[in-house]
Each structure stands twice: as C-alpha cells, then as structure tokens.
Structure 1
Amino acid sequence: MAAHAPLLALLDGTLADIASPLVRADDLGVVRGDGVFDATLVRRGAVRDREEHLDRLERSAAILQLPAPDRAGYGRAIDALVAAWDFGAAPEALIRLVLTRGPEGGGEPTAFAMMLPLSPAAIAERDRGVSITLLGRGHDGDEVAAMPWLLPGAKSLSYSINMAAKRHAVAHGFDDVVFVAPSGQLLEGPTSTLVVDRGGRLATPPQDGILASITLDHLLRDAPSAGLEVAFEPMEPADLSAADGAWLLSSGRLLAAITAVDGEPMPRSPLDAALRRVLDV
C-alpha cells in the first residue's frame, strides 16, 4: 500500500498544495525558529486531546509573546484535514499546528496545520520499546523555570537541540534520550516525558522548566481509577537503574517501554499492561 502524502490546511478551512510556497523566505519562523507548534494524534478520524493541544498552543504563544492563535481557525483546519484524510491508507496520523511571528519586517503571523502519517518507527516502538542513552542538559529544571527568556514550558519551533540529541543517540546505537541536569536529576526526553515504576508506584520528574505533557496529564487524571499511583519525584540515574520498569510518554507514540539504559537491560514493568489501558495505547 502506498504511503499517504501529507496534507496542508489553512485557517479558513481550505486545503493547500503542500508542495507550493506558503512561508516567505524572511519569515522569522524559518530564519530564527521564532514561533510555536503543537502536534496531536488522530486515529481513524478521532483527534486525541484536541482541545488540550489547542490550549497548549495558546500557552506557548503567550510565552513567546506571539499574537493569540486563531483557535476557531485552527479548528477549521483540523476538520478539513480529518475530512480529507484516507484512514484506510494510514489509520494513524499526526496533525501539526504551526504559528510563526511572520515576516522579519513586520506583517501577519504565519499559521497553518499539516497532517502526516505517524511514522512506522513510532508505531513499532510502542510494542518493542526503546533503548535510551542519558545525555547532559545545560541547566537544572528549576533554574530554567526562573529564566523566562529560555522559554520554559513553551513548545517552540527552536527544536534543533532536541533533534540533535536524538540524532546523536541513533548514531551511537540508541533509540532515544533522557536528559540529565547538571545536578544529576533526570529530566525529560527531547520529545517525551519520563515515567518510572518505583516498586509499584509511578513517578515522573518535577515539571519545573519542563514542557507540560498532555499524555502525562491523561495519566494523572485516569490512573487513580485504574488503581495506579502517580507522583512527581526527583530522580537520578541510579533510581532509573534500580526501577522495576520505565516508559517514555508522548502525544504521537503515546507510550514506549524503556528496554535498556546506556546498554544495561531494563525489565518490563508489571504495570505495563495497566498503563497501556489507561492511555488507550
């Protein structure tokens, strides 16, 4: 079966040719990464956590002092993409919502939504899990939270460091990354949130300076009804090594069990099946 081509929608709800020019060469989103985005999973026509992702796009825009996103316009774009998508060819897809500051000399922000198939690698990693490496990050979470110019909590287009970390991991035989602060505290992945099974309790690092995870919010909301306990707890690499299991959570891949840390095998948590049910994996 041929792969589904990406689709592009404008905020008036019309589809555009993804191969035709849309962004000016002097757009600040292109030349400086000055903009925000968000992305949500779509399964057979159902947009996962739609309103929550629009909320986070608004929060990110506010942090960057961008104009408030046209929420109704993004809603029209989402509806147009979902209506045009062939879910028989690609049952799972990502919708990416983009907002930039616009041309460098001034003008209207650039805004659009794009839909593309969820990568086969992301789907496979849900089942087989991921091997990770621990990489340093230059600031502790609470330090970043106190420095608004570092854009803590914003999902900005300036994603080159995150992507460089993942390329570094893959080049050295790993699937993904968890960042470690200078203090030794575990943080997050480049595109994911860490959750650890500590003797039957689920723990995740404190959210200071970390992008709020919608998938984690889903877990925090629904875990108690499934008999699962989740708490924010500071953790170091030794805590990860001693854990009964761990996962990376994200909006597209949803959940991937960590199978090894820097080459050391990690057990599959006894809570894995319950966590998958809670997150509807």
Structure 2
Amino acid sequence: MNTATLLLLTRPATTSAPTGDAGFVEAEADAPHVNVMDLGVTRGDGFFETISVVDGHPQALEPHLKRLGHSAELMDMPAPDTDVWRRAVLAGIDAHQREHGVQREIFAKLIMTRGVEGTGIATGWVYLDTGEDFTASRLGIRVVSLDRGYRHDVAETSPWLLQGAKTLSYAANRAALREAARRGADDVIFVSSDGYALEGPTSNVIIRNGDRVRTPQTDQGILAGTTQAAVFEFFEARGIETSYEHIPARELAEADALWLVSSVRQASPITNLDGKDFHVDAALAAELNTYLLSRTH
C-alpha cells in the first residue's frame, strides 16, 4: 500500500515561466516522474530540505525555506520561489491527511535540482510520507568520530566544496554511516583534519558541560540546524547558557552530555562515543523531545 503523497512543482524557481496553476500539481507517488538525464540523478546536482510534520503541523517551515534559498545561493542555482514551495508543503500535508488521516509524525522532503542537462530549467518536488520509528534512537545512540578530511575553515578557503549547502551529494555521508555500523555504532560525529568537532552526516552536535550548552559554529562549513536552534531555546528557557563556538574534538570526551539533533529524528542522546560511556538523563531526554515535537513555530 502506497502511503506517500507527491507534488510536482511546475514553478520551483523565481526564474520559472508562469504556468497558469498554483505552481504545483499532485501526482502519483509511485509513478515514474524524473528524467534520467536530470542533473539531480546524474550528478547529485541539487539540494533538499526535510521537514518534520507533527500532528499536521510543519515544524520550522520558514527556517527550512530560508535554508533552501541559502543552498541555492551557494550552488549558483536560481532562487526557489518561496511562496510556491510554502503552498506546496501545506497543500501536500492537506492531501496526505485527506488520504491517511492526521498522523502523529510524517515528513515532507523538498527537492530541487538543476534540471535536465542543457535545459537550464530547474526541477522540484515535495514528497510526504510516514517516517521510521525513532523511539529507540531518542533513548540513546552509540557514536564514533570520523575525520572529514577537511580543515575547519574549508568553507572560507574552498567555497567551491559547498560545505554548508544541503546538497543531494550524500554518498560520503552514507559511507560514513556504513563505517559507523562496521564499528558497532549508530551514527557519526565528523571531526576536521585539524581537530575540531563539526557535525553528524544528518545532524548537529550539542555539547553540555554543567549549565553551559554549546554547538560548533556554522562558519566551519556546518549546516545551520533548525532543530539545534530549538534545542537552544529549550535550554535557555531553563536558565542555561548557550553558545556557538569552535570546539576542539578532544573536548567531546570531557562533556557531561552529548546529543545529535535533526529535523525528523529530533534529539538523540549519545550513550557512547569512541568507546567512552556517557550517562543519559532519561527524564531530560524525554522532556527535550516532548518540547521539540510540540513546537508550533
């Protein structure tokens, strides 16, 4: 049984020609749609966002749309038509609910590619479906640190490497997760070649020491996290100081607590990093995830 909902964007970019419709059309999710010469398929030349939809509400929709535009800018692609993408997400949620009812957690994946090679016309779609069950990972995960192979200042020295853009080129990230599995772990924290903590393949890192919570700052080619921002709000409301910093990787082992956080999985406390066990405050982890899942902004 197909549980997905698909909307094809007829006007994904601000440079797209007028189409006479809302800028998107609903399509059969399990039918073929993408041209085999689309650069998103042949080159991974495009970008995406994944939005958690909880009880019918898209979480952090505007920050995700802003980040969509940032990826386009970094990749020298036409700016996404934000109004069309916003309407498509909301229409997709409505369509999904009509077919399947209101579900506790689904996701909306927004994808825009450079289009069929040689045409200069962008391709875009919004895909909605039920996500996997993250109950276990919200209780705790085992993590290994892996060298990303770049210096922490790579975004400044080599902007053509597109660090900080959410590109479709995820082969290296998937390879890192397979390496983690070979080492008996669930996930990864990337470390720069000059020894700074960065991010996970699909997540941001949160580090707590006493009444201070930090995350690696984004000028290191790190994707600005929408869930990470909400985590900071959670701790700040409890009088805990938060900051963005350049964090030497050696300080990870000195933390009182560590999390990996992302839009659909939410917050996963780290139980073990590179063989070192970390105590998990189960009540705090549950409270944090309840907060993240209850966001309405």
Would you say same fold, with TM above 0.5? yes
Superimposed CA distance per residue, residues 105-162 of structure 1 (whole angstroms, 9 cap, x where no aligned partner): 2242101100121211x34311x21100111111122123332101122111111111
- The answer (yes or no) to whether the contact 1:15–1:80 under 8 Å persists in 2 is no
Q: Is the 8 A contact 1:226 1:278 kept in 2?
A: no
Q: What corresponds to 2:12 in structure 1? A: none
TM-score of the superposed pair, with normalisation by structure 1: 0.91
Q: Distance in 1 between matches of 2:136 and 2:102?
A: 17
SS at structure 2 position matched to 1:258: strand
Aligned match of 1:116:
129
User: Which of the residues 30, 43, 67 maps onto 2:54?
Assistant: 43
- Name the structure 2 match of 1:184: 195
* RMSD after superposition: 2.1
1:16, 1:171 → 2: CA distance? Answer: 39
SS of aligned partner of 2:149 = coil
Match of 1:91 among 104, 109, 115: 104
Choose from 116, 127, 136 the match for 1:103: 116
Q: Deviations over 1:199-229 (max 9, x none)?
A: 2211111222111111122233453232121
Match of 2:225 in 1: 213
Could you tell me how far apart the structure 1 residues matched to 2:215 and 2:105 are?
27
Which of 211, 214, 225 is matched with 1:203 structurally?
A: 214
Task: Name the CA distance, whole Å, in 1 between partners of 2:204 and 2:192.
Answer: 15
CA shift, 1:190, in A, is: 0.3
What is the aligned partner in structure 1 of residue 88 from structure 2?
77
**Greater mean deviation of Cα atoms: 216-225 or 148-157:** 216-225
Aligned residues: 277
2:250 to 238, 246, 271: 238
* Structure 1 residue identity aligned to 2:258: A
Following superposition, the deviation at residue 234 of structure 1 comes to 3.0
Q: 1:41 to 1:5 in 2, by over 3 A?
A: same
Q: Which 5+ residue runs of structure 2 have no aligned equivalent?
A: 10-22
User: Which residue matches 1:279?
Assistant: 292
TM-score, normalised with respect to structure 2:
0.86
Structure 1 SS opposite 2:106:
strand
Q: Tell me the percent identity.
A: 38
Report what 1:62 is aligned to.
Answer: 73
